[in-house]
A and B are shown apart, each in its own frame.
Chain A
Amino acid sequence: GIQVEQSPPDLILQEGANSTLRCNFSDSVNNLQWFHQNPWGQLINLFYIPSGTKQNGRLSATTVATERYSLLYISSSQTTDSGVYFCAVNQAGTALIFGKGTTLSVSS
């Protein structure tokens, strides 16, 4: 099956810093989503982005489907950005498969 690798596994930032999270996947995909899991376990969808670039406030994402990677950019980080960021992908007829996640800690 398809493999999803995320890096880095852990990231520690000071408030106001910028960061880039990476997701590599081993085959072509129908769908790619970035999620933020808060400390209570809620998975919040950030982007549906199988290709191209999207922006939502301080967050943006780019997926280069031909090279099988996606990047999530967080600018001017805030303590509320802390949590685990997951990249997840699926192919035709299959369910969403998750990477191992990046744990982000933002301190004030």
Chain B
Amino acid sequence: SQKIEQNSEALNIQEGKTATLTCNYTNYSPAYLQWYRQDPGRGPVFLLLIRENEKEKRKERLKVTFDTTLKQSLFHITASQPADSATYLCALSTGNQFYFGTGTSLTVIP
């Protein structure tokens, strides 16, 4: 089965800096790699999707890269704000199976 590792359980950064979160996976390469945001007591919310043939995807202050050779995705939040504080989940999907990492808790310090 697919194994997904996200870099650290918790990441603290200063407001205005760029946060970089890592997602590594084993076994086969997924067709899609996705990032979700989860706030305490809430369900995960979709942020970005990147396909296996795409290297990079951007949405406002968010950027995702996908390296199928390294089996790694990086998720960047530029000009971070305290409102970006949340847990970010990496998810891999092949067909209609979705596998999630354990998440990285991000705290942006004012």
Q: A and B: real partners? A: no
Residues of chain A touching chain B, judged by Cβ–Cβ distance below 8 Å, are: none
